[in-house]
Structure 1
């Protein structure tokens, strides 16, 4: 099988490379056929070192990545392709927010907008809650949200609880995932 490195890898090729266990989310390297390699030595060395082992290593953003045919791939996109038999058309979202949890029940295809509506709270968050911060000038709590196009001001509140309530109602209104901001 001739592989074009500039295109998505064919599903049948991926299935020759990987064994995916949907219940656990683990993907293992298979003993790959000799025709995947440029030399007998590469074939022997790869299978000796990798066959039966977990695929991927975590990057700094906690996604599993792997190298195949000279290119780096995000493992959850390969998982989707192998399990469903088609390349993912959109973002592959981890429903529970755990980026290395590649159980098929934890993955879904979403648009960029939907993906941002199931995001973790940023590391630089100071209030502990997404979309709410305390104003230094007046001590009130300011709530906001994105409607998908622009930032929407939800108002200023005397208490954190009132600001959080306004934010939660807006999350429902704008279709945010229940795990957003975890």
Structure 2
């Protein structure tokens, strides 16, 4: 059975999804047993009828009754790849999903999208990824100033894209 052949009805026969916790369990015979394993990229993969499916896409099918369009990505808003709570999932185009991705993983993490610590300069740097390019928003002494600059840069880039 291929991915698109998995029906909503068959999915509900095989597994139960809790949208509050994002956990998947078997429906029968051991109905409380969790299912799935993390794949090489850190996403939860679940085999149904010997075909592996990413849990985010299964959650989308379970909640909406329809497969997400193949051209769309199921994005984890908080960037935690195995957090499949319904409120943490959204559909994005591949380009928007790349823009949401962290450009670099330099510690310490700021917690602000597009803001990173530059240890050489001891300042916060703003970097926004759009249209396959990194756009720089400068260096800032405080995280708050960098967050404001990141928001302004995103707004400018969005306005340029809309024009």
TM-score using structure 1 length: 0.64
* Equivalent of residue 19 in structure 1, options 7, 16, 30: 16
Matching residue of 1:76? 56
| Equivalent-residue separation in structure 2 for 1:74 and 1:88 (angstroms) | 12
* Equivalent of residue 101 in structure 2, options 105, 119, 132: 119
Matching residue of 2:161? none
1:11 CA drift (Å): 1.4
SS at match of 2:75: strand
Structure 1 gap ranges (5+): 32-46, 176-182
| Equivalent-residue separation in structure 2 for 1:143 and 1:23 (angstroms) | 34
Bigger relative contact order, structure 1 or 2, given CA contacts below 8 A and separation 6+? 1
Task: Indicate the structure (1 or 2) with the bigger Cα radius of gyration.
Answer: 1
| Equivalent-residue separation in structure 2 for 1:120 and 1:150 (angstroms) | 13
Contact 2:99 2:128 in 1 (8 A): no
Alignment of 1:147-158 (within 5 A): 147-154=130-137, 157=139
1:125-154: CA deviation from partner (whole Å, max 9, x where unpaired): 267564667597x99987543332433344
- More deviation in 103-112 or 54-63? 54-63
Give the paired residue count.
151
- The 1:17–1:113 alpha-carbon spacing in structure 2 relative to 1, beyond 3 Å, is same
Matching residue of 1:93? 75
- The 1:160–1:127 alpha-carbon spacing in structure 2 relative to 1, beyond 3 Å, is farther
Say if 2:152 is the partner of 1:172: no
TM-score using structure 2 length: 0.70
1:161 CA drift (Å): 4.3
RMSD: 3.2
